[in-house]
Structure 1
Amino acid sequence: MGDLSEKCALVTGAANGIGLAVAQGLSAQGVRVLLADIDEARGQAEARNLPNALFQKGDMASREDCRALVARAEKEWGRLDILVNNAGLQHVSPIEEFPEDRWEHLIRVMLIGPFLLTRYALPLMYARKWGRILNISSLHGLVASPYKSAYISAKHGLMGLTKTAALEGADKGVTVNAVCPSYVRTPLVEKQIADQARVHGLSEAEVVEKIMLAPAAVKRLLEPSEVAAYVTFLCSEAAGGITGSAQVMDCGWTAR
């Protein structure tokens, strides 16, 4: 896939789940990684376990924190080659009951935050005529489900940002793609199981069987390491012709 050992990356939501797996996968390829998360204790601990890794606390809902993260990468390494917008959260509620502040917060974290980080990172990538931006979207960036209006709106918006940034960056050596997995075994999904059980009046086992896995051809949750492996490939030279795309890894969810 080519040598990534001289590259520098910023990964958000990197204290656990997909973000941590991505940070680990890139680090294994020799990439210097700045992990960002609101969970400072866990993030610091995970960064200490990786070679050439740093941690900085960051809230993707904060413009100042987004700017500071890119500035930290530039200060430490003088460059930023890879940006992985992964930080996310979920809230399950009917629209008529959805807390308005909560709705806005999800949009800030999962759409406005990636826009800001992309805005601040692109000049560094353009200067070197090389860059990779990976937006961790979701199956729900392509299709909808009930009771997740904020998450689905943010992820659909992220698809638009992905395509626009890809068109703008193509002649400057920057590719921008979205990875769209189905349900992944993460703390976010584990919490969703309980929330979905409450909203639908089902047991947690029934939520997994009847809601999460029912439309899938492959009846299992994805593992964070599987998503991380795909992200690492998309950062490589071998993926240089892939941009503006929704890379679907959904266990056959959308094949029907």
Structure 2
Amino acid sequence: MTSPRVLPAPHASSLDLRGRTALVTGAAGGIGRACARRLAAAGAEVRAVDRDAAGLDALAEGCGDLAGGVTPHVLDLTDLEAAEYAAAGTDILVNNAGLQLVRPIEEFPPDVFHTVLTVMLEAPFRLIRGALPHMYGQGWGRIVNISSVHGLRASAYKAAYVAAKHGLEGLSKTAALEGAAHGVTSNCVNPSYVRTPLVEKQITDQARAHGIPEEQVLTDVLLRDSAVRRLIEPEEVAEAVAYLCGPQASFVTGASLALDGGWTAH
């Protein structure tokens, strides 16, 4: 049911982030974990934010051989004041944390819709708000928002996720316009389906929503519109984040970098 695992060369692009502090949300697993490791490998001191304390501890323990360090920071992003405070003093902000529920709109629980928008749109706003004074003060900053192909396209049964990602696209572009004069870039990375626990859970939800067996979900639903018919690896997304933090991307801002296997080429 899963596609072959394809990994990029480890730390393929040259990047030196020594002396920089990065904050990565949703860092205990999946894309966030890969981003935290990639930035730490480049020498950054990474504040790894998640509500999964055990996952953060495992991440930190596994990063002891990297050039930078990883400091666990247990935080529920629905605590918006704490989120804004946590971002103070960061040079690099990676807004990655997310959650998903697959339901038709008429069956979608309003409280879950509210939570998704809080974690995936309002919390990034507060994190950016907390990080910008330091970034502006030093004349340098990098904001990378892990959006999705669903920030560019919609899919049925994902009202909250699609709404949050579309909102994140607008927030990122606004931050890019405001930050340009201060040496701060803001961009989105837009992967399609990544090999993460969130996607594995979606297979079950999508099977129920579409009334098909789970083994058909990957090929008939998740990868139906992709020209490259495999899942993306978290490390591939992390390498795109690394590129956007590097000097070669200083002129890239307000952009949405699609890692979608050709989905949006249709």
2:55 corresponds to 1:45: no
* Native 8 Å contact 1:22 1:225 kept in 2: yes
Structure 1 Cα separation of the partners of residues 246 and 173 of structure 2: 19
2:74 corresponds to 1:57: yes
Residue of structure 2 equivalent to 1:26: 39
Structure 2 Cα separation of the partners of residues 29 and 85 of structure 1: 19
TM norm structure 2: 0.92
* Native 8 Å contact 1:135 1:179 kept in 2: yes
Q: CA deviation at 1:60?
A: 1.4
Structure 1 residue ranges without an equivalent (≥5) = 72-78
Secondary structure of the structure 1 residue equivalent to 2:87? helix
Structure 2 Cα separation of the partners of residues 65 and 20 of structure 1: 21
1:177 to 182, 187, 194: 187
1:5 to 10, 18, 32: 18
One-letter identity of the residue aligned with 1:163: K
Q: Greater helix share, 1 or 2?
A: 1
One-letter identity of the residue aligned with 1:205: E
- The size of the alignment, in residue pairs, is 249
Structure 1 Cα separation of the partners of residues 151 and 262 of structure 2: 15
Structure 2 Cα separation of the partners of residues 2 and 67 of structure 1: 27
2:102 to 92, 95, 120: 92
Residue of structure 1 equivalent to 2:7: none
One-letter identity of the residue aligned with 1:70: A
2:135 corresponds to 1:125: yes
Q: CA deviation at 1:2?
A: 5.0
1:249 to 249, 253, 259: 259
Q: Indicate the percent of aligned positions where both proteins have the same amino acid.
A: 54
Structure 1 Cα separation of the partners of residues 84 and 184 of structure 2: 20
One-letter identity of the residue aligned with 1:175: T
Q: Deviations over 1:22-68 (max 9, x none)?
A: 00111111111010001011112212222421011111121132033
Structure 1 Cα separation of the partners of residues 251 and 60 of structure 2: 31
Secondary structure of the structure 2 residue equivalent to 1:134? strand
TM norm structure 1: 0.95
Q: Deviations over 1:203-222 (max 9, x none)?
A: 11211010111111001000
Query: 1:64-79 counterparts in 2 under 5 A?
Result: 64-71=81-88, 79=89
Query: 1:159-170 counterparts in 2 under 5 A?
Result: 159-170=169-180
2:151 corresponds to 1:141: yes
**Runs of 4+ with >2 A deviation:** none
Structure 2 Cα separation of the partners of residues 113 and 216 of structure 1: 30
Residue of structure 1 equivalent to 2:228: 218
Residue of structure 1 equivalent to 2:48: 35
Q: CA deviation at 1:192?
A: 0.5
* Native 8 Å contact 1:2 1:238 kept in 2: no
2:114 corresponds to 1:104: yes
Q: Deviations over 1:99-135 (max 9, x none)?
A: 0000000000000000000001000100110000000
Structure 2 residue ranges without an equivalent (≥5) = 1-13
